């Protein structure tokens, strides 16, 4: 393969990487964040999304980078949600007079990392992608460095993230040692038939490292603290694009490198998925801070997505890809609404703050009700369809432990219904706690758009989301 | 090759002993010094394997930069390391249990691999292709086959640099800095002011 053919395959990341460098120099010289600057970074992300969608498919650089339907699907979602995060974060920081030109640059660079992980075809590109993405996210978590809680969030995220990277790297080195190669295609060949004990040993470490990144129980401890301390729009970003990127890593490692060891890794994933669902459901009951509450909600939702991965094969990965995109819309919309709201200049972050919101801001209250009902999994909201796909895949797998896991997952979602309904009750039936400030228009608009997606638009969107995800899922395991 | 065997066992023993001393030394400065010893002996092991480039890299990067940086940090931070060790006995049982389980698992894996002969496939390092030294072999693939990794790793370092600047750089308004343009543009008119002073009144601010 010629060098230019390789370059044409990695064009989305290349465009983003070069624009990050240009933006960095531009920002360093102009020293201010103008709307043109933010617009340029959004434009770069959207251009990369278009390139990922229409770009050629193939394997670049001797198969270490695969541009296939799965990569296109994930990257379009990742880059679009990163662009939304740039807009939301810019508005939020501007409202606090804390705009820095590094914010869009860091989001763009983390998007490069997420793109690399989404099309990783080799353990080294997987690891470099993870590091690129996570390092930018650590900085974003602590972006308001004078805020003690944000610093705590950044430090906790950094230390635990570094530990998980170490575990991931240890597993990767074991796999390399036993398979004799870091490329997924060669690992798949080495694990074919009788899988060596050493390979599986390495795989377990890699799964643990990835579970940290995706915040699945029992590796979820950092999530509530980081979500509580980090700036609200950054949390909305954390819960959306990097989650999809991390689920893509699961799909890449398990679907591309270990497709034959499905019975071995399925049991590990079922345990992680069920633990996540129950930790998310039960620990969420005691939360009063909405950001912490939504952290536990995200842990539970990751559990459902892992159930889809555990099903394995085309159907399982298909359900996971649909689930993650629908979940990303919900969570981005919810945090956009949360960021739009303030009372006397202070952010509204607890359930008590939301009391009587419907009398003050009926539009936002309605949108947040839609997100809660969607996260609860009530039809006809998007969350219902997301869970429907996952449970249908798990029940149709014919694997008895997996079917029981799906049943237990449903029980978990009934438990979690309590805290979503508690939020709705506070908004609709409690007495207002005081007047709410005028909401931030951009964040409110994004919140409303996501709420509209969550109910009527989702029905139309599924018509093209479903075949796109199906094509993406079919791309795994063909190296 | 008796000499090689002696060198291997000596270096391997020093590496493991130094590694143990890193975690058990009371004085953190001593820990860092033992760490440097461990790096040096590991570099020696690389030379024995015929990977002289990696050996030199280990010394230049780890001993020359990382370990010396550690040393600076340890000496500059005023941390009571004795106080940090207070919980040692408290966490010993659970930590020992986890470590023990991991050790037993790894021994089992190693034994099963050794008996099944899976490791024998790659027991010896690959011969360098085309009779070139391994430094040259790395140089040939680093910017060709591995260009993607190389550039992506460069971006990781860039993010680390941006992160360090974002989180720590503060522009203090009160600091006086030299501005040569301003100095040159200074004229007697801007530099001084003539004031008529009436006797007995002094100069007002």
Distance CA A242, CA A261 (A): 26
Q: Which helix (H) or strand (E) holds A346?
A: strand A346-347
Angle, helices B28-49/B2-24, rounded to nearest 10 degrees: 160
User: Is residue A108 within 8 Å of A41, Cβ to Cβ?
Assistant: yes
pTM equals 0.87
**Tell me, what's the pLDDT at B18?**
93
In this predicted structure, which of A301-310, A380-389, B164-173 has the lowest mean pLDDT? B164-173
Q: Does residue B65 form part of some domain? A: yes
pLDDT at B120 over 50: no
Q: Is A222 helix (H, G, I), strand (E, B) or coil?
A: helix
State the count of interchain CB pairs (< 8 A) between A and B.
Answer: 81
Q: Give B-chain residues touching A15 at CB under 8 angstroms.
A: none
pLDDT at A416 over 70: yes
| pLDDT > 70 in chain B, percent | 86
Q: Does residue B203 form part of some domain? A: no
DSSP class of A436 = P
Q: Which helix (H) or strand (E) holds A59?
A: strand A58-60
Q: How many domains, chain B?
A: 3
What phi and psi values does residue A65 have, to the nearest 5 degrees?
A: -135, 115
Q: How far is CA A389 from CA A74, A230, A374, A385, in A?
A: 17, 32, 14, 6
Selected for mutation to probe chain A from B148, B161, B164, B170 (highest A CB count within 10 Å) is B148
Q: Is the dihedral of CA A52, A53, A56, A61 positive or negative?
A: positive
Put simply, the chain B residues between 47 and 76 with a CB less than 8 A from any chain A CB are: none
Report CB contact under 8 Å: B155, A17.
yes
Q: Give B-chain residues touching A180 at CB under 8 angstroms.
A: 121-122
Confidence of residue A322 (pLDDT cuts 50, 70, 90): very high
Distance CA A243, CA A81 (A): 11
Report CB contact under 8 Å: A105, B162.
yes
Distance (Å) from the alpha carbon of A113 to chain B's nearest alpha carbon: 8
B74 and B3 fall within a common domain: yes
In this predicted structure, which of A39-48, A81-90, A467-476, B170-179 has the lowest mean pLDDT? B170-179
Q: Does residue B106 form part of some domain? A: yes
Q: Which helix (H) or strand (E) holds A343?
A: strand A342-343
pLDDT at B130 over 80: no
End-to-end CA distance of chain A: 16
3-state SS string for chain B: CHHHHHHHHHHHHHHHHHHHHHHHCCCHHHHHHHHHHHHHHHHHHHHHHCCHHHHHHHHHHHHHHHHHHHHHHHHHCCCCHHHHHHHHHHHHHHHHHHHHHHHHHHHHHHHHHHHHCCHHHHCCCCCCHHHCCHHHHHHHHHCCCCHHHHHHHHHHHHHHHHHHHHHHCCCCCCCCCCCHHHHHCCCHHHHCCCCCCCCCCCCCC
B97 and B116 fall within a common domain: yes
Across A418-439, average pLDDT: 89
Q: Give A-chain residues touching B105 at CB under 8 angstroms.
A: 201
Domain at B34, CATH number: 1.20.120.1200
B99 and B65 fall within a common domain: no
Q: Does residue B62 form part of some domain? A: yes
User: Is residue A307 within 8 Å of A390, Cβ to Cβ?
Assistant: yes
Distance CA A373, CA A380 (A): 9
pLDDT per position as a tens digit, A235-244? 999 999 999 9
pLDDT per position as a tens digit, B97-113? 888 888 888 788 777 76
User: Is residue B48 within 8 Å of B76, Cβ to Cβ?
Assistant: no
In this predicted structure, which of A94-108, B2-16, B67-81, B124-138 has the lowest mean pLDDT? B124-138
Pairing of strands A58-60, A342-343: unpaired
Q: Does residue B185 form part of some domain? A: no
End-to-end CA distance of chain B: 88
Report CB contact under 8 Å: B109, A201.
yes
Partners of A60 in the beta sheet?
Answer: A65
pLDDT at B182 over 90: no
Q: Which helix (H) or strand (E) holds A58?
A: strand A58-60
B70 and B135 fall within a common domain: no
Q: Which helix (H) or strand (E) holds A342?
A: strand A342-343
Q: How far is CA B125 from CA A61, A196, A251, in A?
A: 24, 21, 32
B2 and B65 fall within a common domain: yes
User: Is residue A240 within 8 Å of A331, Cβ to Cβ?
Assistant: yes
**Tell me, what's the pLDDT at B123?**
47
Residues 6+ apart with CB under 8 A from B44: B7, B11, B55
User: Is residue A69 within 8 Å of A477, Cβ to Cβ?
Assistant: no
Q: What is the mean pLDDT of chain A?
A: 91
B98 and B161 fall within a common domain: no
**Tell me, what's the pLDDT at B81?**
64
What phi and psi values does residue A238 have, to the nearest 5 degrees?
A: -55, -40
Distance (Å) from the alpha carbon of B185 to chain A's nearest alpha carbon: 24
Is the model more confident about A79 or about A63?
Answer: A79
Residues 6+ apart with CB under 8 A from B49: B125
Distance CA A355, CA A375 (A): 20
Report CB contact under 8 Å: A132, B152.
yes
In this predicted structure, which of A11-20, A192-201, A245-254, B156-165 has the lowest mean pLDDT? A192-201
Q: Give A-chain residues touching B166 at CB under 8 angstroms.
A: 100, 102, 106, 139, 143, 145
Distance (Å) from the alpha carbon of B120 to chain A's nearest alpha carbon: 10
Report CB contact under 8 Å: B156, A131.
yes
Across B111-134, average pLDDT: 61
B2 and B66 fall within a common domain: yes
* Closest chain A residue to the Cα of B165, Cα to Cα: A102
Report CB contact under 8 Å: A109, B159.
yes
Distance CA B79, CA A449 (A): 51
Pairing of strands A65-67, A58-60: antiparallel
Distance CA A473, CA A317 (A): 5
CA nearest to A115, candidates A214, A13, A8: A13
B115 and B54 fall within a common domain: no
Q: Which helix (H) or strand (E) holds A60?
A: strand A58-60
Put simply, the chain B residues between 159 and 198 with a CB less than 8 A from any chain A CB are: 159-160, 162-163, 165-168
Report CB contact under 8 Å: A178, B118.
yes
Across A415-428, average pLDDT: 92
Q: Report CA B177 to chain centroid distance, whole Å.
A: 33
Selected for mutation to probe chain B from A139, A147, A182, A205 (highest B CB count within 10 Å) is A139
Distance CA A419, CA A286 (A): 9
Across A368-383, average pLDDT: 91
Report CB contact under 8 Å: A100, B118.
no
Q: Which domain holds residue B15?
A: 1-79
B94 and B50 fall within a common domain: no
Q: What is the largest CA-CA distance in chain B?
A: 106
- For B148, the closest of A20, A65, A132 (CB atoms) is A65
Report CB contact under 8 Å: B159, A135.
yes
Distance (Å) from the alpha carbon of A450 to chain B's nearest alpha carbon: 31
pLDDT at B171 over 90: no
B52 and B95 fall within a common domain: no
Is the model more confident about B172 or about A386?
Answer: A386
**Tell me, what's the pLDDT at B205?**
60
Q: Is A355 helix (H, G, I), strand (E, B) or coil?
A: coil
Confidence of residue B122 (pLDDT cuts 50, 70, 90): very low
Q: Which helix (H) or strand (E) holds A452?
A: helix A441-452
Distance (Å) from the alpha carbon of B66 to chain A's nearest alpha carbon: 17
pLDDT at B136 over 90: no
Q: Does residue B173 form part of some domain? A: no
DSSP class of A259 = G
CA nearest to A123, candidates A180, A196, A58, A57: A180
User: Is residue A127 within 8 Å of A168, Cβ to Cβ?
Assistant: yes
**Tell me, what's the pLDDT at B117?**
56
Q: Where are the alpha helices (DSSP H) in A241-350?
A: 241-251, 262-284, 290-311, 313-340
- For A198, the closest of B109, B153, B159 (CB atoms) is B109
Across A137-157, average pLDDT: 92
ipTM reported for the complex, 2 dp: 0.91
pLDDT at A470 over 60: yes
**Tell me, what's the pLDDT at B145?**
85
Which of B120, B143, B178 lies at the terminal end of a domain, its last residue? B120
Confidence of residue A194 (pLDDT cuts 50, 70, 90): low
**Tell me, what's the pLDDT at B128?**
56
Distance CA A283, CA B19 (A): 41
B105 and B135 fall within a common domain: no
Q: Does residue B142 form part of some domain? A: yes
* Cβ-based interface (< 8 Å): residues of A facing B: 6, 10, 17, 20-21, 24, 60-62, 64-65, 100, 102, 105-106, 109-110, 112-113, 116, 124-125, 128-129, 131-132, 135-136, 138-139, 142-143, 145, 154, 177-178, 180, 196-198, 201
B100 and B140 fall within a common domain: no
- For A128, the closest of B109, B156, B163 (CB atoms) is B156
């Amino acid at each position: 393969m010629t060098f230019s053919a390789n370059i044409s395959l990695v064009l989305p990341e290349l465009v983003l990487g070069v624009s990050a460098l240009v933006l960095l120099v531009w920002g360093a010289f102009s020293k201010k964040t103008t709307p043109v600057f933010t617009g340029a970074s959004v434009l770069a992300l959207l251009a990369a999304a278009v390139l990922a969608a229409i770009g050629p498919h193939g394997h670049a650089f001797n198969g270490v980078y695969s541009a296939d339907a799965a990569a296109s699907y994930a990257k379009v979602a990742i880059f679009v949600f990163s662009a939304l995060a740039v807009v939301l974060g810019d508005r939020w920081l501007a409202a606090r007079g804390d705009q820095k030109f590094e914010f869009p640059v860091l989001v763009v660079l983390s998007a490069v990392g997420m793109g690399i992980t989404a099309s990783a075809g080799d353990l080294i590109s997987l690891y470099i992608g993870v590091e690129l993405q996570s390092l930018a996210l650590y900085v974003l978590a602590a972006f308001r460095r004078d805020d003690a809680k944000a610093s705590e969030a950044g430090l906790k995220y950094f230390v635990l993230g570094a530990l998980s990277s170490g575990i991931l790297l240890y597993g990767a080195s074991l796999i390399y040692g036993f398979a004799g190669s870091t490329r997924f295609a060669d690992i798949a060949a080495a694990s074919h038939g009788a899988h060596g004990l050493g390979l599986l040993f390495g795989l377990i470490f890699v799964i643990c490292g990835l579970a940290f990144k995706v915040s699945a129980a029992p590796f979820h401890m950092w999530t509530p603290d980081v979500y509580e301390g980090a700036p609200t729009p950054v949390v909305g970003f954390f819960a959306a694009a990097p989650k999809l990127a991390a689920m893509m890593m699961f799909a890449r490692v398990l679907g591309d490198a270990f497709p034959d060891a499905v019975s071995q890794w399925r049991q590990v994933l079922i345990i992680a998925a069920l633990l996540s669902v129950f930790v998310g459901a039960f620990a969420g009951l005691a939360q009063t801070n909405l950001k912490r509450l939504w952290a536990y909600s995200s842990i539970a939702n990751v559990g459902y997505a892992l159930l889809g991965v555990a099903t394995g094969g085309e159907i399982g990965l298909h359900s996971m890809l649909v689930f993650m995109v629908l979940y990303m819309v919900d969570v981005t919309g919810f945090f956009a609404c949360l960021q739009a709201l303030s009372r006397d200049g202070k952010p509204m972050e607890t359930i008590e703050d939301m009391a009587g919101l419907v009398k003050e801001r009926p539009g936002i209250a309605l949108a947040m009700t839609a997100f809660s009902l969607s996260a609860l999994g009530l039809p006809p909201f998007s969350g219902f369809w997301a869970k429907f796909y996952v449970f249908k895949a798990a029940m149709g797998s014919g694997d008895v432990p997996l079917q029981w896991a799906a049943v237990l997952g449903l029980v978990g979602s009934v438990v979690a219904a309590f805290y979503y309904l508690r939020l709705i009750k506070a908004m609709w039936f409690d007495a207002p706690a005081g007047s709410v400030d005028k909401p931030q228009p951009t964040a409110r608009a994004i919140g409303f758009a996501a709420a509209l997606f969550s109910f009527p638009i989702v029905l139309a969107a599924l018509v093209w989301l479903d075949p796109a995800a199906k094509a993406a899922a079919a791309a795994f395991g063909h190296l | 090759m008796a000499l090689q065997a002696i060198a291997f066992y000596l270096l391997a023993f020093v590496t493991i002993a130094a590694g143990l001393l890193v975690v058990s030394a009371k004085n953190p400065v001593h820990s860092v010094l033992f760490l440097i010893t461990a790096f040096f002996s590991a570099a020696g092991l690389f030379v024995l394997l015929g990977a002289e480039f990696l050996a030199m890299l280990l010394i230049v990067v780890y001993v020359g930069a990382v370990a010396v940086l550690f040393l600076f940090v340890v000496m500059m931070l005023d941390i009571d390391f004795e106080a940090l060790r207070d919980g040692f006995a408290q966490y010993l049982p659970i930590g020992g249990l986890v470590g023990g389980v991991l050790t037993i698992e790894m021994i089992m894996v190693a034994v099963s691999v050794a008996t099944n002969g899976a490791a024998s496939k790659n027991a010896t390092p690959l011969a360098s292709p085309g009779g070139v030294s391994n430094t040259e072999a790395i140089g040939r693939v680093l910017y060709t086959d591995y260009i993607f990794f190389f550039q992506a790793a460069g971006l990781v370092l860039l993010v680390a640099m941006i992160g360090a600047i974002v989180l720590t750089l503060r522009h203090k308004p009160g600091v006086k800095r030299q501005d040569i343009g301003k100095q040159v543009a200074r004229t007697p008119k801007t530099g001084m002011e003539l004031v008529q002073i009436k006797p007995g009144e002094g100069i007002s601010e």
